[in-house]
Amino acid sequence: MKAIAEPHHELGEDAAEAVRLVAGMLRRGESGEALRERRTVESWTANEAGLLSPSTFEEAGTAVRVRRERESLLVARPGVGPGALREAVRDAARRAGGAPFFKAHRAAAPDARRNEGTARLLGEERHSALLAATLAAAVPDPRGLSISLTVSWITQVRAVISPKELLACGSSVRLEAVATVVRESGTRTLSFLSALPYEKALEKLGSALAEAARPVSTIPPPDGEVDVVLSPSAAAVFWHEAVGHPLEAD
């Protein structure tokens, strides 16, 4: 029996016990596994006056699946702790006709839960400070602007528990933002998505927001043919749409 490859992975602290539970619920001729997933979203709103307080919500769940020939049974429970896994395994075993042996499991100590909450709060404060600095640098002079901005930092962590081992599927992160910038000369909208680490994603967001806040020219374009200069990314999109799609047609 193997423990999780990342011993400090937040979903694998009870790796040995979790593997034992999943293995114990299966009868001869059955296969199955359990899945743990946690999704955390930190969201901020901002306007030309500054950054507002963040909000954080979390979604977490545990699912157990048992397969026998062409039949499949799926049971899900909220939470990713040992209790959620035990409830899901107990229900799956009851519905499938099995009776796994359950051993008493000691709950996490209050100090451990308190330390986890403190670490999360410190992380939110750091994220807020970095975002505030990014927005201040992107729009140093908000006079004449009306800005509506929503930013979300999304983290997903998954682990799969088989009858032999608990495997960390790693984590994924992304920064999402939508904004509307209004000035007398016109309105610009911004949609942003990046899977880079938080600080690097903020750099990209700051550049995009600075571009969106740049004054829009009120001089009409000249008549007739004109030369157009595209950035590398814009040129790739244009070439894909104008040439790539026609080449795909019969």
Residue 34: CB atoms within 10 A of its CB come to: 26
Judged against a pLDDT cut of 80, whether residue 223 lies above it is answered with yes
Judged against a pLDDT cut of 80, whether residue 31 lies above it is answered with yes
Rounded to whole angstroms, how far apart are CA atoms 15 and 174? 27
Residue 68 in contact with residue 62, Cβ under 8 Å? no
- Residue 12, amino acid: G
pLDDT for the residue 103: 39
- Residue 209, amino acid: L
Of 61, 81, 76, the C-alpha closest to 18 is 81
60-91 confidence digits (pLDDT tens):
999 999 888 888 889 999 999 889 999 998 88
Distances 227 to 215, 222, 224, 238 between C-alpha atoms, Å: 22, 11, 10, 15
- Give 105's pLDDT tier (boundaries 50, 70, 90): very low
pLDDT for the residue 69: 82
- Report CA torsion sign: 195, 148, 215, 142: negative
Judged against a pLDDT cut of 50, whether residue 45 lies above it is answered with yes
Rounded to whole angstroms, how far apart are CA atoms 159 and 32? 14
Residue 214 in contact with residue 138, Cβ under 8 Å? no
- Residue 225, amino acid: E
149-193 confidence digits (pLDDT tens):
999 999 999 999 999 999 988 889 999 999 999 988 788 999 999
Judged against a pLDDT cut of 80, whether residue 99 lies above it is answered with no
- Residue 196, amino acid: L
HEC profile for 46-93?
EECCEECCCEEEEEEEEEEEEEECCEEEEEEEECCCHHHHHHHHHHHH
Rounded to whole angstroms, how far apart are CA atoms 248 and 79? 46
Q: Which residue has the tokens 């990209």?
A: 204
Give residues with Cβ within 8 angstroms of 203, minimum separation 6: 134
Note the helical H segments in the chain.
15-25, 82-96, 110-138, 198-213, 232-239, 245-248
- Residue 7, amino acid: P
Residue 212: CB atoms within 10 A of its CB come to: 21
Q: Name the 3-class secondary structure at 28.
A: coil
Q: Which residue has the higher pLDDT, 14 or 109?
A: 14
